Amino acid sequence: MSKSLTNRTFPRTVRRGVYKTLSAYLAAMEAKGCKVSNYAGQILRMVVWSQEVGEEELVMVLDRDLGLTDSYTLDELTVAAARFDLYRLDADVAAGLREQYGDQPPGEWCLVAMDPIARIDRDLWVFRVGRLDGGTWLGTFYANPEDRFSLGCVWVFSRRKPVSST
């Protein structure tokens, strides 16, 4: 693993399965003063909430640190991250990151490497976790297969290899 990648890790452990339903998750978010954008609210309705409590180690990394040198798709990002044993998060873990990342630095936004979720307009989106002057937010960002991300994005990945790839 490159020195620059090692320096950009949280690492942060996120608990999964703490909230078994969307309503329980939203109540926890509201209690902490977290805000959910309209689009994030739409795709949260599609999340399958883990019923088993567990922990997952997450890593934050700059796309350039994965060896990317030009704009890229989410699939290209995923391939680059796998070379460092980093994987996409399950959507419930992505949502849990927002709820559990209360010490996020002001002005920071990070995209969540996850399988994109379709909104009612059928566009695909990933979660975006941020902290602005107005508080902490769970937002979204386009992630259709043809969408390209500009260099300079910060992403959050899991160190856990997905069950489907074992």
Fold (topology level) of 3-159: Mannose-Binding Protein A; Chain A (3.10.100)
Element (H or E) spanning 98, and its range?
Answer: helix 91-100
pLDDT of residue 160: 79
162 confidence band (pLDDT: 50, 70, 90): low
For the chain, domain boundaries: 3-159
Bridge pairing between strands 109-112 and 154-158? parallel
- Quote the pTM value: 0.88
Output the DSSP codes for 19-80. Answer: --SHHHHHHHHHHTT-EE-HHHHHHHTTPPPPSS-EEEEEEEEEGGGGT--S-B-HHHHHHH
* Amino acid (one-letter) located at 156: V
Write out pLDDT tens, residues 12-23: 889 989 999 999
Tell me the mean pLDDT in the region 114-142. Answer: 91
pLDDT(137) > 60 = yes
Write out pLDDT tens, residues 30-55: 999 999 999 999 999 999 999 999 99
The total number of residues shown for the chain amounts to: 166
With beta carbons less than 8 A apart as the criterion, state whether 117 and 91 touch.
yes
With beta carbons less than 8 A apart as the criterion, state whether 8 and 65 touch.
yes
Write out pLDDT tens, residues 90-119: 999 988 999 989 888 889 999 999 999 998
